Amino acid sequence: MECKVRNLSINYEITGAGKPIIILHGYTVDHRLMSGCMEPIFNSQDEYRRIYMDLPGMGKTKSADWIVNSDVMLDTVIEFIEKVIPDENFLLAGESYGGYLARGIVQRIGKRVDGLFLLCPAINMNSEKRDFPTHIVLKRDDELLSQLEPTDAKGFDSIQVVQSKRIWERYRDEILAGIKLGESEFLHSFSEKGYWFSFDVDALNEKFYKPTLMLLGRQDSIVGYKDAWRILDNYPRATFAVLDRAGHNLQIEQEELFNSLVREWLLRVKEA
């Protein structure tokens, strides 16, 4: 499906019916990173309208020369929300850079957000100031790596903490496939010049009292987990979980725990 925002056609998918949940992926990938991990959770409870969008310059959504920084990216996402679900309250989920944008949505239109899920959220957008561990591999599969294309093996080995055939297949289909569609020139320029907001996204005028889930990987060498702890007070109803044996793609390395914790978040949302 496509939604027109100014002169830009945003690619998105809607699955299911009921309460809307806006789901935002991270940087350079596409919506499949999130649909791949979220859809199995909804197989047994189809009461939510899952809305997955490809951010500009990623997936099947083209870039635009007027998207010059994250302020404009946030405006674009909010305008998309206003067009797709006008006047409706919704749940919100964001991964990595999508978690950064999600917090911008909370600051701007938080009264419409009935629950928040942050997966490995980017907190400090200046990578040189992030508090993250050195990358390690806890379970290596040299035989698998030897069977992959060298560039694919290098990328997989550089981010995955746990390696297996199943994890590779999910990485290939849900992550790498999206990366290969991204507009590399736009994404590189954007990350160099406009990656962060012009405002402090975590300086909320009032705390967010809706059910929240924050999932972090103990071995996440991209955004880490320690920076997220400092924003926890903004979310008095938050479960904050740091999972061992999990990096920046914890949703495929700790699949069972991921599924259980997201289901528990949905139960808290329903109760609230």
Instruction: Residue 8: name the closest of 43, 58, 69 by CA.
Output: 58
pLDDT at 215 over 80: yes
Alpha helices in 124-254 (DSSP H): 142-147, 150-159, 165-170, 177-179, 184-193, 226-229, 250-253
Retrieve residue 186's tokens.
Answer: 């736009």
pLDDT value of position 127: 81
Name the CATH topology of 2-271.
Rossmann fold (3.40.50)
Burial class (CB in 10 A: 0-12, 13-18, 19+), 66: exposed
Angle between helices 97-109 and 70-84 (to 10 degrees): 70
pTM for the model stands at: 0.97
pLDDT at 59 over 80: yes
Mean predicted lDDT score pLDDT of the chain: 96
DSSP state, residue 54: P
The three-class DSSP label of residue 243 is: strand
Q: In the block, which residue shows the tokens 């939510």?
A: 48
pLDDT at 44 over 80: no
pLDDT at 45 over 80: no
CB atoms within 10 A of CB 221: 17
Find out whether 38 and 261 touch, Cβ atoms under 8 Å.
Answer: no
The predicted-structure confidence for 234-260, as pLDDT tens digits, reads as follows 999 999 999 999 999 999 999 999 999
Find out whether 117 and 262 touch, Cβ atoms under 8 Å.
Answer: yes
pLDDT value of position 122: 97
- What DSSP assignment string belongs to 187-211? HHHHHHHS-S-SS-TT--SS---S-
pLDDT value of position 46: 73
- Stretch 155-162: mean pLDDT, rounded? 98
| Segments making up each domain of the chain, as ranges | 2-271
**Using 50, 70 and 90 to split pLDDT, how confident is the model at 48?**
very high
The predicted-structure confidence for 111-149, as pLDDT tens digits, reads as follows 999 999 999 999 999 888 899 999 999 999 999 999 999
Find out whether 267 and 237 touch, Cβ atoms under 8 Å.
Answer: no
pLDDT value of position 73: 98
pLDDT at 51 over 90: yes
The predicted-structure confidence for 173-197, as pLDDT tens digits, reads as follows 999 999 999 999 999 999 998 889 9
pLDDT value of position 193: 85
pLDDT value of position 128: 83
